[in-house]
């Protein structure tokens, strides 16, 4: 080892032995990474377990965000850790499209059975949520030989160019990035609190067909059963039935984005199981693999087979470690009855939030399905109150509780704690929340 290498090694060892602070790391982040990658909290994780997280300074936090709905089974569930460790002893990567492996086929078979409907289905795997969305659009276009896609205002479908085009929220996702892919159209999402009805949405679709694109040129309608980034607005059953009818009438593919709603979060394995109509294609990601990057597109077999061989895939798609983790996730959801657990947790949370209405007049709405719950804040005149929302999040963080916001106006707090959260930790988090909202 030469003198230069020895000096650098000693410097790195000294740096590693020095206690890190959040402020020091944050200063390095600002200098080393672009501002476009924003962060929610100026703390840096050192370790986590189930519903709790500790930063580099040793402070403990209760995690009500779960990495944006990625950790329905909690941080480092022992069965998931063991599944990944076992796979590590075999191989980490072959590129499934080069040398495939049976665990992928088995996971596809499981998802084909778990997703709504008994019709023949096929599943393809990718890496990120937006990859699943983009591939769902590719599949729908290949199947229909049409270009058009209809999405909803307030929707979030990712940060790639097609993802941004589909997303119905400008700030911060679209600023400075245009132009976007063509043949993408938006109609208002029904939001009763803001005076937008299902009938308004359906009339907007008919207006599109009259003024912008004929229905025979529309490949797909895509929507989230519960809008995530848009504000946790639950799409009404009436809308789902009407969209199914429109799609059937015109040969349009109905795509349901279950990236945030899937895997027991809403009290059922998938949010579409709350409805009496079926999607043609579903996209999945986030909690599918318990913290390891993996996404999927599942749909009717005849639609999924539309792309030619080689038209779908990716270097890291269906990564072996992620597939192993996903199998463990499905086992944990079943064995620990997390769908039922989500319903219980959600009922408790909604009751707690509704009880706070008398003390917090700014609560405009409490909504959600299962443990996918949100509270929206408004001023006395009914306009959105993002300032109060930010204050609540800041107070909660100072007291050791991590909360996420959402909504077009940033005036909604969304709750996505792990479905494995301990009762005592949940109660502790709700107590902190109460103080943050009433202080």
Mean pLDDT rounded to a whole number for the chain: 95
Average pLDDT over residues 218-229: 97
**Local confidence band at 10 (pLDDT 50, 70, 90 cut-offs):** low
Look at residue 233 and give its three-state secondary structure. coil
* Residues 268-278 pLDDT 10s: 999 999 999 99
pLDDT at 19: 82
pLDDT at 359: 97
Cα–Cα distance measured from residue 90 to residue 211, given in angstroms and rounded to the nearest whole number = 57
- Single out the residue of 38, 370, 433 nearest to residue 232, CA to CA: 370
Look at residue 438 and tell me whether its pLDDT is greater than 70.
yes
**Local confidence band at 9 (pLDDT 50, 70, 90 cut-offs):** low
**Local confidence band at 73 (pLDDT 50, 70, 90 cut-offs):** very high
Look at residue 14 and tell me whether its pLDDT is greater than 70.
no
Q: Yes or no: say if 65 and 416 are a contact pair by the CB < 8 Å rule.
A: yes
Look at residue 36 and tell me whether its pLDDT is greater than 80.
yes
| DSSP-assigned states of every residue in 6-47 | HHHHHHHHHHHHSPP-HHHHHHHHHHHS-TTS--S-S--EEE
Write out the E strands in 60-206.
60-63, 121-126, 148-152, 184-187
Domains and CATH numbers, the chain: 16-65+337-438 (3.90.1150.10), 81-335 (3.40.640.10)
Q: Is 435 exposed, middle or buried (0-12, 13-18, 19+ CB in 10 A)?
A: middle
Look at residue 127 and tell me whether its pLDDT is greater than 90.
yes
> Can you give the length of the chain in residues?
439
Average pLDDT over residues 305-310: 97
Cα–Cα distance measured from residue 381 to residue 388, given in angstroms and rounded to the nearest whole number = 14
* Residues 141-155 pLDDT 10s: 999 999 999 999 999
Alpha helices in 212-337 (DSSP H): 237-250, 301-304, 320-335
Look at residue 411 and tell me whether its pLDDT is greater than 70.
yes
* Residues 172-217 pLDDT 10s: 999 999 999 999 999 999 999 999 999 999 999 999 999 999 999 9
Look at residue 164 and tell me whether its pLDDT is greater than 70.
yes
pLDDT over 70 for what percent of the chain?
96
**282: Cβ contacts below 8 Å, ≥ 6 apart:** 115, 116, 255, 256, 257, 258, 262, 270, 272, 297, 298, 299
DSSP 308: P
Q: Yes or no: say if 348 and 424 are a contact pair by the CB < 8 Å rule.
A: no
Look at residue 373 and give its three-state secondary structure. strand
User: Whole-model pTM above 0.85?
Assistant: yes
The count of other CB atoms within 10 Å of the CB of residue 210 is 9
Please state whether the peptide bond connecting residue 172 to the residue before it is cis, i.e. omega within 30 degrees of 0: yes
């Amino acid at each position: 080892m030469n003198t230069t290498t020895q000096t650098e090694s000693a410097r790195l060892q000294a740096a590693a032995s020095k206690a890190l602070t959040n402020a020091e790391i944050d200063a390095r982040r600002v200098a080393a990474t672009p501002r476009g990658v924003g962060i929610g909290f100026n703390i840096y994780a050192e370790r986590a377990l189930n519903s709790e997280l500790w930063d580099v300074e040793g402070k403990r936090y209760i995690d009500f965000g779960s990495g944006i709905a990625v950790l329905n089974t909690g941080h480092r569930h022992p069965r998931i850790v063991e599944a990944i460790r076992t796979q590590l002893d075999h191989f980490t990567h072959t590129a499934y499209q080069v040398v495939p492996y049976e665990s992928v086929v088995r996971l596809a078979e499981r998802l084909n059975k778990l997703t709504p409907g008994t019709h023949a289905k096929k599943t393809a795997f990718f890496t990120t949520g937006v990859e699943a969305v983009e591939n769902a659009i590719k599949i729908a276009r290949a199947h229909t030989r049409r270009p058009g896609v209809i999405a909803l205002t307030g929707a979030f479908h990712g940060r790639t160019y097609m993802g941004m085009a589909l997303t119905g929220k400008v700030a911060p996702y679209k600023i400075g990035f245009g132009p976007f892919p063509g043949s993408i159209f938006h109609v208002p999402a029904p939001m009763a609190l803001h005076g937008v009805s299902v009938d308004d949405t359906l009339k907007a679709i008919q207006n599109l067909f009259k003024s912008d694109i004929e229905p025979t040129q529309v490949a797909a309608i895509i929507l989230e059963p519960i809008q995530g980034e848009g504000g946790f607005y639950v799409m009404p059953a009436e809308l789902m039935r009407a969209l199914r009818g429109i799609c059937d009438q015109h040969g349009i593919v109905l795509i349901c984005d279950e990236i945030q709603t899937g895997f027991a979060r809403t009290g059922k394995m998938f949010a579409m199981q709350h409805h009496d109509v079926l999607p043609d294609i579903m996209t999945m990601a986030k909690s599918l693999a318990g913290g390891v990057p993996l996404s999927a597109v599942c749909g009717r077999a005849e639609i999924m087979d539309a792309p030619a061989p080689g038209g779908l895939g990716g270097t890291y798609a269906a990564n072996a470690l992620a597939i192993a983790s996903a199998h463990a996730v499905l086992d944990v959801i079943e064995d620990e009855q997390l769908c039922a657990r989500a319903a219980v947790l959600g009922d408790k949370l909604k009751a707690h939030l509704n009880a706070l209405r008398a003390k917090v007049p700014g609560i405009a709405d409490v909504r959600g399905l299962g443990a996918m719950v949100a509270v929206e804040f408004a001023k006395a005149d009914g306009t959105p109150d993002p300032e109060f929302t930010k204050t609540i999040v800041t107070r909660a963080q100072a007291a050791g509780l991590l909360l996420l916001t959402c909504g077009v106006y940033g005036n909604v707090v969304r709750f996505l704690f792990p479905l494995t959260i301990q009762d005592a930790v949940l109660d502790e988090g709700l107590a902190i929340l109460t103080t943050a909202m009433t202080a």
